[in-house]
Amino acid sequence: MSIQEITSQKAGDKYYKINHKSGLTIYVYPKAGYSSTYAIFGTKYGSINTTFKDEKGQLTTVPDGIAHYLEHKLFESEDGDAFLKYAKTGASANAYTSFDKTCYLFSCTERFKESMDILLDFVQSPYFTRETVAKEQGIIGQEIRMYDDAPSWRVLFNLLDKMYHNHPVKIDIAGTVESIAEITPEKLYTCYNGFYNLHNMALCVAGNTTVEEVLSIADEKLKDSPQQSMESFVVSEPDHVVSDYVEQKFAVAVPLFQLGFKETPTSQRMSVEKIAQSDILLFILASNSSPLYKELMDNELINGTFEYEHFEGPGYSSVFFGGESRNPKETAQHIRKAVDSLRQGGVSQADFETAKRAMYGDAISSLNRVDTIANMLIDFDFADREIFAYIDAIANTTIEQVNARLLEQLDSTKSTLSVILPLED
């Protein structure tokens, strides 16, 4: 076991990275004077990992939505429901499955050890039977139908479906009613045993705690894992989008839109330098202090729901702009025009300096929230990045790098507009 202290002169802060003897990577970010503690225990396994090779080289394909299904089922064990146990400690607990990871978390102000015991126990104790799996199919089926009826969810997945040809990021995280009907206890155990190996996981704790306290619990609760490799099958993804437009009608008062710009796919996760450049670039282009934002607001094309995002993961990278708009097509035209203009003229020095200061300030201030810290730690670990290196990357970014990133990342010829229209439009 090794313990590494990671410090930042710029942030004036430090945390610890522990390579535990069990195989688990543990991060502890003590925050003196804080009353709350936040812990997150996750695996590098999400909805896109449906086809994979085991150590013997055998290729396995499992039903869409099984990672999300597995997340639900882990809360049930032979000795009771984990949520009921958390209720007794007073901790607030939750879990989520994304495209590339599954995480289990809690926050508390007291009885930290008891809540940590619960977390480490139930995540390491799978219990699947035919009866419990069948019962969950009805529950998750209702959840899937609920999301199918959610306009904000459909506008996103309609966009992904028309941007990506082959990548499983286009598939709904929860799967379909038909796909989850194929899930069995045996398939759940196959995925659990492959991806819930501690060498593929991380535990991140931030707040009112110490390295010694976290390690004492980890030493007691963690089960040694033999190192193994589960290689997810990587599909070939074309550079271009499937279609530049998709629409669907829903019972909404105001149309919704998502405009996505597809970046050339790569098998490598982006460096902190690339992420910093993207963050600065998008602030320049679309923050509420940008000319584009003012233009869209002045023309009453957007409202306070407008947002933008760099959507990035294993084998995919895109930029999304979205929200409510009385005229989504005109809004998209304005955004594409702003992108084209910026590509031709480049980023101005004044805009670059403003954005760089803003992003640097956001990065530093994010270290004041224990939930943000812990979530950043696990996100960065799974992407082979480091928090303080990201802060340094923002400080060291040049205008030349941002202009180069602009040409890589935003190309109107590789964009798709997804629209949700009112039923009587």
71 carries an active-site annotation: yes
H or E element in which residue 418 lies = strand 415-422
CA triplet 151, 152, 155: central angle to 5 degrees? Answer: 80
The two three-digit tokens of residue 272, written as one number: 């902190």
Terminal-residue alpha carbon distance, the chain: 63
Secondary structure percentages of the chain, helix, strand, coil, to 5: 45, 25, 30
Q: Which residue has the tokens 């306009």?
A: 151
Burial class (CB in 10 A: 0-12, 13-18, 19+), 368: exposed
For 27, residues 6+ apart whose C-beta sits below 8 A from its C-beta are 15, 16, 17, 18, 202, 203, 204, 205, 374, 377, 378, 381
Please say whether the beta carbons of 140 and 72 come within 8 A.
yes
- Sheet of strand 102-108: strand arrangement: 2-8, 13-19, 25-30, 201-207, 37-43, 102-108, 92-97
Please say whether the beta carbons of 185 and 133 come within 8 A.
yes
Please say whether the beta carbons of 17 and 215 come within 8 A.
no
Looking at 71, 76, 263, 312, which residue is catalytic? 71
Ramachandran bin of 33, using left for φ above 0, alpha for ψ from -120 to 50, beta for the remaining angles:
left
H or E element in which residue 311 lies = strand 307-313
| Catalytic residue set | 71
